[in-house]
Amino acid sequence: MLGNRWGADDASKGKPAGETHIFVTHYHWDHIQGLPFFAPLYVENNEFHFYSFRSKFLGRDSLRQVFETQMAQPYFPVDFSAMSAKRNFRELEGGESFFVGANRITARYLNHPQGCLGFRIETPAGTIVYATDNEPGDPALELSLHELAAAADIFVNDAQFTPAQLATEKKGWGHSSWKEGVKVARAAGAKTLVLFHHDPDSSDRRVNGLLREAREEFASVYAASEGMVITLGAPGQPAQAHLPGSRTATRREAQFRAVVTGVTSEGRRFQEETTVRDLALQGALIALKHSPKLQSELEVVMETPGSNGVREMRLRGYVVRLEVGAEGGTTGVGVVFTD
């Protein structure tokens, strides 16, 4: 879970407990149900600043009330007071802008049942926009979304439904599609679009299909996945993604011989034999002599030892990260497997 990973990272770096700012978009279950299970909230020296809005259904101190209700008996074994971290709550208005350190935060309302805030975070390294849970169709709130996304380096947008679903049976559910995301990204001049808030009924394969369609219409698109970290590129450089979880969780230490097929940044096809050392369920870091195109598709055919001798494993994925390889003259290629 995020909280455990977060805590483990801090401990391993020997960092003192610090202040953390958490932006809560709205109070639907899928956005709040992890709160009581977030381990760093039970560590005394941690301090949290929560931002959200005053819901007309809850009134004053809406987010604090949400916490208290979630932890009331018999829903949770300990009550709100067991959370020993210091917690501060701030209610925001749509259109409000303020600074957290060197970062300027802007909150705007989005079109979603019972309200939802989108956040624009302008950092010294670039601008990130988090616009989950919104549906096109309300001109004033659509304008808010465009203003939030203006020239953003990373624009995270709701992509729950297919364009066909959004036009028909899912109209009015408060969500959007990859096609709407591309439309807003293009009009607002956003550089990288991240498809987010996948439908719980979408398989990984289906999300991958939506991603492929989006890539045909927009140069830089990622589909968010659990644990994915996206790094802002240096000015003029593209954003890159990676899955730090793959370095710890289910990592396999063994080495596998593999044949990798893909497309170079110049658009030429290549095939290359290599050894895969860093392999996990969701992805791998592979050393290649070729430099594949960022976000292009890659096929990895590996020979893995099993109980019935050597077995061939065929995986497809896409390139999310390029770094200088550990071995001279190679590129470290981060891949997310899609099937």
With binding defined as CB under 5 A, does residue 173 bind Zn ion?
no
Residue 21 or residue 28: which is nearer to Zn ion going by CB?
A: 28
With binding defined as CB under 5 A, does residue 327 bind Zn ion?
no
Residue 21 or residue 31: which is nearer to Zn ion going by CB?
A: 31
Say if residues 173 and 135 touch (Cβ distance below 8 Å): yes
For residue 90, the Cα-to-chain-centroid distance in whole angstroms is 24
**Count, residues near Zn ion per rule CB under 5 A:** 3
With binding defined as CB under 5 A, does residue 28 bind Zn ion?
yes
Binds Zn ion by CB under 5 A, chosen from 30, 79, 327, 339:
30
Query: How many Å apart are CA 17 and CA 7, to the nearest integer?
Result: 9
Q: How far is the CB of 30 from Zn ion (least distance, A)?
A: 4
Residue 114 or residue 203: which is nearer to Zn ion going by CB?
A: 114
Instruction: Assign residue 295 a region (left: φ > 0; alpha: ψ between -120 and 50; beta: otherwise).
Output: left
With binding defined as CB under 5 A, does residue 169 bind Zn ion?
no
Binding mask 105-144 for Zn ion (x = CB under 5 A): ----------------------------x-----------
Residue 7 or residue 174: which is nearer to Zn ion going by CB?
A: 174
Other Cβ atoms less than 10 A from the Cβ of 218: the count is 19
CA distances from 117 to 4, 37, 110 (A): 27, 23, 6
Residue 133 or residue 153: which is nearer to Zn ion going by CB?
A: 133
Q: How far is the CB of 20 from Zn ion (least distance, A)?
A: 22
Q: How far is the CB of 110 from Zn ion (least distance, A)?
A: 10
Phi, psi angle pair for 164, to nearest 5°: -70, -45
Say which DSSP state 252 is in: B
Instruction: Tell me which residue of 196, 192, 190 sits closest to 178, measured CA to CA.
Output: 196
Q: Which residues pair with 257 in a beta bridge?
A: 275
Query: How many Å apart are CA 156 and CA 307, to the nearest integer?
Result: 44
Q: How far is the CB of 217 from Zn ion (least distance, A)?
A: 24
Site for Zn ion in 41-60 (CB under 5 A): none
Query: How many Å apart are CA 2 and CA 227, to the nearest integer?
Result: 8
Residue 174 or residue 262: which is nearer to Zn ion going by CB?
A: 174
- Give the chain's length: 339
Q: How far is the CB of 98 from Zn ion (least distance, A)?
A: 24
Q: H/E element holding 297?
A: strand 297-306
CA distances from 334 to 116, 196, 263, 298 (A): 34, 20, 14, 11
Residue 112 or residue 179: which is nearer to Zn ion going by CB?
A: 112
Q: How far is the CB of 107 from Zn ion (least distance, A)?
A: 16
> In the complex, which residue's CB is closest to Zn ion?
28
Find the distance separating the first CA and the last CA of the chain, reported in whole Å. 23
Residue 161 or residue 256: which is nearer to Zn ion going by CB?
A: 161
Stretch that binds Zn ion, among 8-16, 26-34, 42-50, 223-231 (CB under 5 A): 26-34
Site for Zn ion in 234-263 (CB under 5 A): none
Which residues of this protein are in contact with Zn ion, per CB under 5 A?
A: 28, 30, 133
